[in-house]
Amino acid sequence: MSGDKKKKTKRTVKGQLVLKTFARTTKSESLGVYLQTAEESFLIRPAAGNPFMDNPLAALAGKFIEATGRKSDYVFFADSWKEIPEDEAR
């Protein structure tokens, strides 16, 4: 691997999963799974998942989760996640 690549540190985030349109008005337009935290919103998907397959987190849309993983640009790659009560997500 290249020595100039930044090491991505793992972090834990909490928020609500929402479905929103990604890449609107482009050939890549699709329904994306976003994690809406108190500070920001970003795409979320399993770290080991295939980005061209359905995102298993879509089934949890509307639920609140705590996820551990790493963020790269606008995508959070979740190594693990669990459903949590709404009051814990705030």
* pLDDT tens digits along 10-59: 999 999 999 998 888 888 778 899 999 999 999 999 999 888 888 999 99
4 located within any domain: no
For residues 57 and 42, the answer to whether their CB atoms sit within 8 Å is: no
d(CA 7, CA 14): 22
Give the domain range for residue 74.
Answer: 11-85
Is residue 49 in a domain? yes
Provide the CATH number for the domain around residue 51. 2.40.50
Model confidence at 6, pLDDT cuts 50, 70, 90, reads low
Cα distance between residue 45 and residue 34, in whole Å: 9
Q: How many domains does the chain have?
A: 1
Structural domain contains residue 3: no
Predicted confidence (pLDDT) at residue 1 exceeds the cutoff of 80:
no
What's the predicted TM-score (pTM) here?
0.84
